[in-house]
Amino acid sequence: MHSENPGGRRPERGFRPVRRVGGRRVARANWGAGRSVSAGEVEGRDLVVDRVRVTEEAAAGRVAGALGVAVGEPLCVRRRRYVLDGEAVLLATSYLPAALVAGTAVTEDDPGPGGVYARLAELGEAPARFREIRSRMPSREEADGLGLGAGTPVVLVRRTAFTASGRAVEVNDMVLDSAAYVLEYEFDA
C-alpha cells in the first residue's frame, strides 16, 4: 500500500506525511538499542504520546485467537495516542498476556527505553517476527480521537509479534490517519 495523500486533509496545512517503512521500523536493532519503534520515522520532528492508559481486560475473540489464549483470560491493554507536529496521527492499542507481563514495566505508562519489545526481550520473549494486516473506515470514536472529518479513511495496522518459538506475545492495533502516513513495505520475492 503506497499513497502520498489518500485522506486529503493535511497538505493544505503544511503537514509532511510520515514515511512508515514496515520491516525496518520494528527491527530489533532499534528497540534493542533503547530507541522507540517510531523514532526513526520522525527524526527531527515533535512526536508526543499525549494519552496513555494501561488496563487489565478480558481477552475477546479475535485478540484471544491471535494470542492463543482463552477468551476471558486477562490481558494487559496499552492504549496510546500519538501527536506529531501538533497533529493527532495515530491511535495504538496493544494487547499482551497479563500473566506474561505482570509486575514488569510493560504495565506502566512508560515501559522504558526500547519500549514494550525491549521489556519482552528481558523476559526471554523477544519478538522475532511480525505479521501486519491493514485498512478500513474509522469508528466515530477513532475519527474524534484523530480529529478527522466525515468520510476520511484510516489505515488499520494490526501487528502481531511472535517469539522465535512462534508464541504470539503482542497484538497491536494502530489506527493511522491515512493522510499522515506513507506506508512502505518491501518483501523479498
Instruction: List, as one string, the DSSP characters of 76-135.
Output: EEEEEEEEETTEEEEEEEEEEEHHHHTTSGGGSS---TTHHHHHHHHTT----EEEEEEE
**Contact between residue 100 and residue 59 where contact means Cβ atoms under 8 Å apart:** no
The rounded distance, in Å, linking the Cα atoms of 134 and 170 is 16
Mean model confidence pLDDT for the chain: 85
Is the residue at 167 inside a domain? yes
Cβ count near 176 (within 10 Å): 24
Is the residue at 6 inside a domain? no
Cβ count near 189 (within 10 Å): 2
Q: What is the mean pLDDT of residues 57-74?
A: 96
**Contact between residue 155 and residue 181 where contact means Cβ atoms under 8 Å apart:** yes
Is the residue at 68 inside a domain? yes
Three-class SS of residue 173? Answer: strand
Is the residue at 176 inside a domain? yes
Answer whether residue 148 shows pLDDT above 70.
Answer: yes
Answer whether residue 45 shows pLDDT above 70.
Answer: yes
Q: What is the mean pLDDT of residues 168-189?
A: 84
Cβ count near 59 (within 10 Å): 22
**Which pLDDT does position 186 carry in this prediction?**
66
How many folded domains does the chain comprise?
1
Answer whether residue 133 shows pLDDT above 90.
Answer: no
**Which pLDDT does position 130 carry in this prediction?**
87
Instruction: Provide the whole-model pTM.
Output: 0.82
Is the residue at 173 inside a domain? yes
Taking alpha carbons only, the member of 95, 96, 93 closest to residue 79 is 93
Domain that holds residue 171: 11-184
Which residues neighbour 39 within 8 Å (Cβ) at sequence distance 6 or greater? 30, 47
Is the residue at 2 inside a domain? no
Q: What grid cell was written down for 13?
A: 496545512
Is the residue at 125 inside a domain? yes
Q: What is the mean pLDDT of residues 97-115?
A: 96
**Contact between residue 105 and residue 92 where contact means Cβ atoms under 8 Å apart:** no
Q: What is the mean pLDDT of residues 139-157?
A: 90
- The pLDDT confidence band at residue 47, using thresholds 50, 70 and 90, is confident
**Which pLDDT does position 117 carry in this prediction?**
94
pLDDT in tens, 177-186: 988 888 877 6
Q: What is the CATH number of the domain that holds 71?
A: 3.40.1410.10
Answer whether residue 67 shows pLDDT above 80.
Answer: yes
Answer whether residue 8 shows pLDDT above 90.
Answer: no
Is the residue at 1 inside a domain? no
